[in-house]
Amino acid sequence: MIKVSIIVPIYNVSKYVIRCIDSIINQTYTNIECILVDDCSPDNSMILLEQRLKLYQGNIDFKIIHHKQNKGLSEARNTGTYESTGDYLFYLDSDDEIQPNCIKTLTTLAEKYTEVEIVQGNTQSLPCPIQKSDWRNLHYKKFQEYVNDNKWVLKHFYNVKEEHIPVNAWNKLIKRNFIFDYNLFFKKGIIHEDELWMFLLVKKLNSIAFTGEYTYVHYTTDGSIMQSGSNYKSIECWLIILKEILTNPNDSFFEYFKEKYARILYFKMCLINLNTNELQLYYLYKTLVKDIIKNLLKEKKIVFTLPLFILLMPQSFYKSFAGVKIFNLFIKLNRK
């Protein structure tokens, strides 16, 4: 029977932590160890969590690990990974929850395909980004249940024009040995850590299975791009990610992602230009980012301004196919 280690970083989630823990307690599959990493949360998240676990009398093994100082999401996940003893790992964000059948559904596929490195679950996003009767965030309706081909994996990673493998760490059952064999830990000290982690992971990934059953509930706060904005940490982290990519071999896969992340940097700088609170950041990074974009996107003219209507659109539009098309059109027009 497969043993699963669920890894949950805890930081400033007092409003959501009980919902998250209860979703683990309610799993129909119980050969689970749950590693809760206290990342020095300043609120009463840990008090609420410990009170809830005192009442639990089931078979799931809950373990609490305390950081001596706040280290961030990446290091909290890494701590849980090092402490894990399961055959497979499952990363769960503490403001999200999993469906009662989550681990059972994913382990069933892992037992069916014993060599599988990742089993991808289906995600329900709340609030729903697109008002449809089918609120499930299914990116891969036409994918076969099991694939054992790295070239196929690379082709279907982060392809916004087609169905694709979701770019996040959560809602994936991941073989523990796969993580350790290829040293696939999260980079310390950055945000957007899932982007870089997935980028490095898919280069090694050969086998993946998919389920159409929704297993995970991901909660998002909808708002305009301007509200979510851009800041020092975000820009710095995208620069770090891009630098990591630039150090990788020069093949078509890496070339594609050099351009992708350069476009993200460009978009971030456009936002800064219209946000007077961040003009200092704009001037700090303007020359550096322009040089990167000119080199990677072959742009002759770089204008750090986006139409206001795009900035006022909700985040779901920015992430949508239509939003990507409009953004790319704006870049194309800037070439003229």
Domains and CATH numbers, the chain: 4-219 (3.90.550.10), 225-334 (no CATH)
**CB neighbours of 175 closer than 8 A, spacing ≥ 6?**
87, 88, 89, 110, 116, 117, 118
- At residue 166, the pLDDT reads 81
* Burial class of 108 by CB neighbour count within 10 A (0 to 12, 13 to 18, 19+): middle
- At residue 115, the pLDDT reads 96
Tens digits of residue pLDDT in 267-314:
666 665 555 566 666 666 666 666 666 666 665 555 555 554 454 455
Q: What is the mean pLDDT of each run of 10 residues along the chain (336 residues)?
A: 98 95 98 98 96 96 97 96 98 96 98 97 73 48 86 75 78 98 92 84 93 90 44 70 68 66 64 59 66 62 53 50 54 48
Residue of 229, 90, 253 lying closest to 157 (CA atoms): 253
CA distance 201 to 125: 24
- At residue 167, the pLDDT reads 80
N-terminal to C-terminal alpha carbon distance within the chain: 61
- Give me Rg for the CA atoms of the chain: 21
Whether 130 and 97 have beta carbons less than 8 Å apart is answered as: no
Backbone dihedral region for residue 192 (phi beyond 0: left; psi -120 to 50: alpha; all else: beta): left
